[in-house]
Structure 1
Amino acid sequence: MYDMNVVLFYGATFGIVAMTILYTFIRYVYSKEWIYLIYSIMQIFSLLFIVAYSQLFFQNLFIEDVSITFASLFAFAFAIGFYQGEFIPKIENQKELFIYTVILIALLLTAFYHYMLFEYLPYTVIYFVLFVSVAFNFKQEIKPTLIYVLGWSLFCLFLYFTDFKQSYVQEGFLDIVLVAFAIEAVLFTLSIAYTYRALHFENQQYQARLVHQTRLAQSGQMIGNITHQWRQPLNNISYILINLKKAFSQNRLTQAYWEKKVQQVQDQLNFMSTTIDDFNAFYTPNKEKESFFVHTVIQQALRIVDSEFKQKGIETQISVQNTSIKIVGASNELAQVLVILLSNAKDALMDVEHPKVVIRLKSSPSEVFIEVEDNGSGIKQFDKIFQPYFSTKEEGLGIGLSMVKTIVEESFQGKVNASNSAQGALFCLKFEKAI
């Protein structure tokens, strides 16, 4: 019979290592980064080693040797993959050569003490390689690696100054290598958590840059749209003024005629003001989520591209199931999505004899669907159209449809789907319906 404390101690160690294996494997499945798979395999061999080492189930020195050998190999592979910075520092003079030589000797001594303390080579290998990464690249920002190395170093210093290992052995506790497994799991989890947070922040910055690039790419086009939108009302106002001047010079300017012409000018100015409001709403950053009518945003997007569509002779058709359909989010972001899809449709209809774009708005009890369909040549590369910087146009930046996917999925938690219909290309946006 085994001592219950021994069984509990080993059981806790088995559980910690098993959870680490599961955690890193799940991260590999979602991220497809091979270093997580390598670490997971390394920990599998570590678990096999500690099971054989415990002698709770069997006693086999060959399994211990094989396990620690493969665990060390995979530990080295992981450490190289997780390594940050240059492997060999740039040495410009003898002084730097001396400094780096001293640092390397100190690292070797530290790693040797780490091994003598815990007597488990795989973790010492990771500690040494990552310590080299920190020491040789101290001017760079390598916080995930620094967290791991600093944690182990502080723990080793604590054990050194307190002479913890000798006291640990004298008290008759189990091998201190079991403590190493727990410390490794904690430090690795902290490092990965920081890495994930840093990647998340970097992704947010990337998305912000992508939004900015999209708006810059569209700004010239939008200015052209404003020019076209305003040309006709300005011409109309000019003709109204000519008519007023003529009526005045011929003494035919009556009160009724004056009021009629003033109202016509006011109508033209209202149209120009609405145009500016639409463009202002489109370009003003607004992340505040609110419930809004989808039909209103569709009309706004159509007004923004109206002049270009008229110039190209593109017919637009709207099918709305219910004008009271609402979703929750930033309305200007949905307008941006629709403008991108409408602009792409316009480009796809360049050589079509009777170009046409159809927008459909419909809903179910819980979801809202917006469809944008054109009668162009359709989509040829479904697997790449939503990738950043992929474009089928020679002058295209390839950020439009990528931006559509990002906004729909991240800002609205919705879905976007592209397909070819009997008419041409069909984009379907799906959102959660507002209550």
Structure 2
Amino acid sequence: MSILYTLVRYIYLKEFFYLAYCFTQIFSLGFIIIYSQLFDIADFYKDVCIVFASFFAVAFAFGFFKGQILPSIDSKKELFLISSLTIFALVIVVYHYMLFSYLPYTIIYLLLLLSVIFNIKEGVKSTLLHIFAWSLVCLFLFILQIKSIYIKSGYIDLILIAFMLEAILFTINLANKYKELKMANEDYENMLLQQTKLAKTGSMIGNIAHQYRQPLNNISYILINLRNKYEKNKLTKEFFYNKYNQIEEQLHFMSKTIDDFKEFYSPNKEKENFLLIDSINRAINILQPLVKQYSVHLNINFNTSEVTKVYGVANEFSQVILILLKNAIEASKDEKNPIINIEVSSQNGLIKIEIIDNGIGISKTNFVKLFKPYFSTKKEGFGIGLYMVKLIIEKSFNAEIKADSLEKGMKFSIFLEKSF
């Protein structure tokens, strides 16, 4: 069962140490079958099994542990410590072999134990767990003198127990290693999300400049009007406060723009209930200069009277909308009358958001690659935008996103659970 489990793991994850361990187990099983004399097989094949099991045991041990093979020694104190631990390890390994009389598992134990000693500063958790468990087994059997009792009583050979314990330990270690890989993958996804945002920083800064140019011009004209009125002694209280209020409106707009960008680039991962419209508007405000630049008709239609709230990370959803809208703008900007529609509807506890454009669309060949990482139809594209969209929707919101190629343009549909 352990052999089959390991083989399936290798097929799905393509990690070499799974394959190496699978062959170690196969040849170990062959050795045990011949050793137990269940069948009339020549002892020569037992030696063959030992050799190949030992070879794959070495391959597995080197593939399984983390860190460098050779130790990094920076002081005499470290040299003394590593030397002492290495001698101690060799003594324990000799007893391990005397106890089980099976070379492949002793090889695994030796190499993993040395890897822990040589990389003690790095913290090799999976390897340390394997070594700690085997050491406890050896210590327990040594104290109770189980080897002598087994030889005198004629019980089942200890190699059979070793075979079972090794399989159990490996399964436990796999669970621990999978947990480490999952955590590393989550860290990578977070880093990729931030890189996606940073990759767009240049264009976003340009958007801020566009956003600020108009209100700054307005403020400049208002101040010129105020100065002219003052110089001509025609500045009334009513006129002054009217212009004062106009300046406040422009400053409020500029402040809101900064808040939108600050919220968008925040690394906050705390989930909460948030209003869908706020998250959508934040993305639209950031992209407003592009909308104006290309004269895009951007329409938002809320086809529901309910207050649409969802549970998740608000700025991540803004990131999703921003990527989809920016792609839609770039796809439709060369059209005579570029149109982008955002349709929001609610039914049976689900919220559906559709983003539809009348742009150039995508070919059937490229459509199947749409959400793949590092695929882009744009020369300057990074190819991680739509990949991040799918990742955020599926992983962070536990939701679904679909793409449809229309006769003219594209449609992206997001299905989210409503938050009550």
TM-score normalised to structure 2 length: 0.80
Label 1:336 to 1:238 Cα distance change in 2 as closer, same or farther (>3 A). same
In structure 1, distance between residues paired with 2:414 and 2:238:
51
1:339 matches 2:328: no
Deviations 1:19-46 (A, max 9, x none): x346535544653435335534654665
Question: Partner residue of 1:13?
Answer: none
1:227 matches 2:224: no
Question: Partner residue of 2:393?
Answer: 408
Letter in 1 for 2:393: V
The answer (yes or no) to whether the contact 2:65–2:126 under 8 Å persists in 1 is no
The 5 A counterparts of 1:283-432 are 283-322=265-304, 324-380=307-363, 381-382=366-367, 384-432=369-417
The answer (yes or no) to whether the contact 1:291–1:328 under 8 Å persists in 2 is yes
Letter in 1 for 2:383: G
In structure 2, distance between residues paired with 1:299 and 1:425:
21
Letter in 1 for 2:227: K
SS of match in other structure, 1:317: strand
In structure 1, distance between residues paired with 2:34 and 2:295:
78
In structure 2, distance between residues paired with 1:114 and 1:276:
66
SS of match in other structure, 1:319: strand
The answer (yes or no) to whether the contact 1:39–1:75 under 8 Å persists in 2 is yes
The answer (yes or no) to whether the contact 1:373–1:425 under 8 Å persists in 2 is yes
Q: Structure 2: any 5+ residue segments left out of the alignment? A: 74-81
Deviations 1:320-347 (A, max 9, x none): 2226222111211111111122223333
The 5 A counterparts of 1:90-239 are 113-131=95-113, 133-134=115-116, 141-160=123-142, 162-239=144-221
Label 1:138 to 1:282 Cα distance change in 2 as closer, same or farther (>3 A). closer
TM-score normalised to structure 1 length: 0.77
In structure 1, distance between residues paired with 2:124 and 2:181:
13
Percent sequence identity over aligned pairs: 47
Deviations 1:172-229 (A, max 9, x none): 5322223213321332133223322322232232223223222322333222222211
SS of match in other structure, 1:308: helix
In structure 1, distance between residues paired with 2:410 and 2:396:
24
How many Å apart are 1:257 and its aligned residue? 3.6
In structure 1, distance between residues paired with 2:141 and 2:181:
34
The answer (yes or no) to whether the contact 2:405–2:411 under 8 Å persists in 1 is yes
How many Å apart are 1:144 and its aligned residue? 2.4
In structure 1, distance between residues paired with 2:117 and 2:270:
45
Q: Structure 1: any 5+ residue segments left out of the alignment? A: 1-17, 92-99
Task: Provide the alpha-carbon RMSD of the alignment.
Answer: 3.9
Identify the range of structure 1 (320-329 vs 248-257) with the bigger mean alpha-carbon deviation. Answer: 248-257
| Equivalent pairs, count | 412
Deviations 1:255-309 (A, max 9, x none): 4444433333333233223323322322233322222221222122111100122
The 5 A counterparts of 1:262-273 are 262-273=244-255
